Amino acid sequence: MTPLALVHRRWKVLAVVSAAVFMSSLDLFIVNIAFPDIHRDFPATSLAGLSWILNAYAIVFAALLVPMGRSADRLGRRRSFLAGLALFTTASALCALAPSVSLLVAARVLQAIGAAAVFPTSLALVLPEFPPDERRTAVAAWAAVGAVAAAAGPPVGGVLVQAGWQFVFLVNVPIGIGLLIVAARVLREQREDASAPRPDLAGSLLLTASIASLTLGIVKAPDWGWGSARVVALLVAAAAIGASFWVRSDRHPTPVVEPELLRHRTFALANAAGLLFFMAFGAMLLSSVLFLTGVWHESVLRAGLEIAPGPTFAAIFAVIAGRLAPRYGERLLGAAGGVLFALGGAWWIARVGSHPSYATDFLPGMLIGGAGVGFVIPSMFSAATSTLPPQRFATGTAVTSMSRQIGIALGVAVLVAILGTAGSDAVLGRFSDGWAFQIGAALAGALAFAALPAEARAREAVHTAAA
């Protein structure tokens, strides 16, 4: 194959897998914007109950990312990518047909399983196509696609919801079918030794149970009381199951999270930063929709358009971050992103009131926060994968994505707990409390980025040369 053909092929592969990432990321943002309409169709379900439409997806996705990444390494990344894409597409149709919240949540779980197969294999299929000196650019482009989906999600969701919230799921069906046809032709199989140990599915179940117990305890605490026997039992169960998960991870030949990975400071801190930052991000995303539609009484379509500039800035600044990373490093860019995101929340606390004033009060905070997201996402993935050999790209990407999804689930849970106690006369104050939580979590993530070793990039260059 000629050099020009190789360049053409690598960018074609990037385009195909990025389109799948775009679809799964678009789904996340569309579902958030459809939340008020889903609530209207199921009025008997509380905000805490409806939050499982988001959290069931996030938790299952997080818990299965690493086993799916390992399965892809073992069984074939192309095969896993195609199977996950097919399941995600089918589950999207089931979501649209769901007649109840419980069945919608069940279909969302199936969506999460499919997305967990697609996401880690996407970057793992791309990176081996690129030479080492171009991989940062590929990671930035891959991350920017998710940010573009975030930008498109709110306005697209607002438009689709006009025809019914079911259409936010149905839109995935024709896209998914088209991608399956193209991906089957373009992608080539990559795998490790098929005799390698099987992934730890039991460990995944333990992780799911631990995070689900913690999330349920946080969500229900305002109704049941933080000191109630049920909440205490859930929190204790989360800790006990979590401890069992870590004990199993230390003993299993292919654990969900390899203890050796977390002993590397760069990898551990990048994942800690991602978990903390995305707790802030998850809270911000849902609070923005609920605030605009519930306090300012904007239509879902208008709210989607008003949220869109933030993700648009995230897409722009993700590209900028990719270009700046070789000069300034992930440590500085990630920390700056966390601080910017916190400043966006601080702006809202200082300026936003009960009377709509979008251009002067809400929009600046959204733009500042969006720039922060753009700096954080590529920095997090680049830092986390910088110490990994090519054969661990799928697994390493999966662990980092897992940290992100767990953060989103916990952020949504905390926000629901904060807003769940609000009466009509105190709702603005509760949103301010939610933004204060956003500030604290984002700054904690910035501190984790700041603690990254300064020599991480030098180690990356040595490691890449050795690989």
For residues 23 and 182, the answer to whether their CB atoms sit within 8 Å is no
Distance CA 327, CA 455 (A): 13
pLDDT value, residue 290: 92
Question: Tokens for 377?
Answer: 């996402």
pLDDT of residue 201 exceeding 80: yes
Of residues 434 and 198, more confidently modeled? 434
430-436 mean pLDDT: 95
> Domain ranges in the chain?
3-187+256-466, 200-255
Q: Give 463's pLDDT tier (boundaries 50, 70, 90).
A: very low
Return the SS3 of 2.
coil
Residue appearing with tokens 């998710």: 146
pLDDT value, residue 456: 46
pLDDT value, residue 235: 95
pLDDT value, residue 399: 84
37-64 mean pLDDT: 88
Quick: pLDDT tens for 77-93: 889 999 999 999 999 99
Distance CA 201, CA 67 (A): 7
Mean per-residue pLDDT of the chain: 86
Distance CA 394, CA 283 (A): 28
Q: Does domain 3-187+256-466 have CATH number 3.40.50.850?
A: no
2-6, 199-203, 273-277, 363-367: the lowest-pLDDT one: 2-6
pLDDT of residue 2 exceeding 70: no
116-127 mean pLDDT: 83
Write the CA distances from 10 to 23, 35, 222, 389, 398, integer angstroms. 20, 38, 51, 19, 22
382-390 mean pLDDT: 76
Q: Give 66's pLDDT tier (boundaries 50, 70, 90).
A: confident
pLDDT value, residue 147: 66
Largest interatomic CA distance in the chain: 68
Distance CA 133, CA 152 (A): 31
pLDDT of residue 73 exceeding 70: yes
Write the CA distances from 61 to 73, 211, 247, integer angstroms. 18, 12, 22
Q: Which residues of 238-251 are buried (b: 16+ CB within 10 A; e: fewer)?
A: beebbeebbebbee
